[in-house]
A and B are shown apart, each in its own frame.
Chain A
Amino acid sequence: MTNPRLAFLFVTPALLFLAAVLGWPLLEAVVLSFQNVGVIGTTGSWVGLDNYAKVIGSAGFWNSFGRSALWVVANAVVQTFMALGVALLLNQKFPGVRIARTWIILTWIVPTVVVVIIWRWLLSSSGGMVNPLLIQAGVIDRPVGFFATRESAMATLVMINSWRWFPFTALMMLAGLTRIPGDLYEAARIDGASAMKRFTRITWPLLQPTLLVLGIVGTLLSFNVFDVIWLLTAGGPSQATQTLPVLIYETAFKGYRLSEAATISVLTSILLMAFALLATRAMTASEEAR
């Protein structure tokens, strides 16, 4: 259908909306990054590329970048693993499958703030259930602090964030699974292929496009996760969980260096954009290959 004017009529409202609410503020952030504004609401003067030189030269930025990368990868691995397992389960036929498919999403429809409070309580040593359960199960012999060491703090945050998101990911995968034609499995079964073989030869390859898309969207979504980390550890202990969004927030609102925060944001955006561009290119390439 070739009717550019109508097409623009369809696209323009959404585009205008995005331009006004996201595009314009983003431009303002770029402008800020070339100034030296401290506290929000004050004015600054132009400083050229000073902020960029400072941020790129600081170990803090690159450390946070590394932690963000770790955060995204760890979340992707944990969530993909859990979600794929759940998706495969839900793709079976059993009594109550519809109910299971609906209510699996429970953790995702609860506000993040509530999720944070739930886990803060459950993991605490006063009234928390997790420590006593682990002791009973013989996993540990005395209560542990889940946010006590750098590694366990990061791991605990990843688990909590994954707990919230894996059902959503699972449903997206389930959608991918249901699009795999059933006769393929039928044919494979007739050929005598084992369950394992059916998975590696049919399910896994045909799920690739779904996984790729989820990988891209999931990366961008989990990269931006801020409230869970901020409300549970505020980037601690000893900065072990200070990802880039946390660093940006802290620099802007706790350290009162708004321009520096804007600079970190711009640099972060450039890195994410590069990732997204490469990834969407790979996606279109695989779409065309099909």
Chain B
Amino acid sequence: MKRTLPQSLALYSGLLLVFLIIGMPFWWVVTGSIKVPREIIARVPTMFPQSFTTQHFEKLFQSTDFPAYLVNSIGVALFSTVITVALALPAAYAFFRMRFPGRDTLYRLILLAYAFPTIVVLIPIYGLFAKVGLIDTRTSLVIVNVAFALPFSIWMMRSFLSTVPKEIEEAAIIDGAPARVILLRIMAPLIAPGIASVAIFTFIASWTEYLFASVLIVSDVRRTVPVGFAGIIGQYQIDWGLLLAGATAATIPVVILFAFVGRWFVSGLTEGAVK
């Protein structure tokens, strides 16, 4: 199992390449956000900052509602995640284990949700939400995010469930445990890493959603990070420093979040469950 020298060389140079491809743009953005404006747009760009200023961040946090955007984004993403998991888990279990008329048709129908250009439902959804008074509420975003994340979540959870050995479940059934108990007490803990991946997927999808948030939200204080960020781009003038500070500030919260839960996402995907 020892690697030969060329093999090691290939491995580490490959890793370095990937590191550069992913890391360099972020390095430039983060270092750019502390450069003075003249250096940001300099004709000959600098790899390492030659100047230091916090003016962009000061402007970002003093004159925009960025903190509010952050709170909104996190709130919307959290609620979307919880509701998605709560809806997807039983549905996935039913599709996976239970027999009922129309099961296969319904399952396919759910996956077909991705066969529609999302833009097409934008206007009807706006009309629908207006009728029930949901325009300019964060609830509307939660509803949309859940709807878009559900099909994929059901599908992922179903495949995680399929990794659970049938014997474990059968033992519980013989013991006479009701389906609710089997799902919550036996299956859910077994596929916990899988549930974590689904949750993180939903969280990120909600965190990055732009199109619907830009149309459904009207007031500045209810905007999410992507829309608030788009707002500081401005029409006739671009303040690159402010944008880079915004890009940095929009990245840091998810990076912090990922520092805590990131490994769950990966282990959930890769381990899925006990095999």
Contact = CB atoms under 8 A, between A and B. Distances in A.
A117 B247 contact: yes
A63 interface: no
B82 to A, nearest CB: 14
Interface residues of A, number: 87
Contacts, number: 258
A224 B117 contact: yes
Interface residues of B, number: 93
B12 to A, nearest CB: 8
Contacts of B110: 14-15, 18
Contacts of B119: 226, 245, 248-249, 252, 265
B19 to A, nearest CB: 8
Contacts of A179: 272, 275
A43 interface: no
B98 interface: yes
A129 B28 contact: yes
A252 B269 CA distance: 39
A18 B108 CA distance: 13
B113 A248 contact: no
Contact of A21 (B12, B117, B147): B147
18 contacts: A18-B113, A18-B151, A21-B144, A25-B128, A28-B124, A103-B262, A106-B23, A109-B204, A113-B210, A114-B250, A163-B25, A171-B265, A178-B270, A223-B117, A227-B211, A245-B117, A276-B115, A277-B108
Given A7-B100, A118-B25, A226-B117, 10 more contacts: A7-B94, A25-B128, A110-B208, A121-B240, A129-B45, A132-B45, A217-B114, A217-B152, A227-B210, A268-B117
Interface of B: 11-12, 14-15, 18, 21-26, 28-29, 32, 40-45, 47, 87-88, 90-91, 93-95, 97-101, 103, 106, 108, 110-121, 123-125, 127-128, 143-144, 146-147, 150-152, 154, 173, 179, 204, 207-208, 210-211, 225-227, 229-230, 233, 240, 243-244, 246-247, 250-251, 254-255, 258, 262-263, 265-266, 269-272, 275
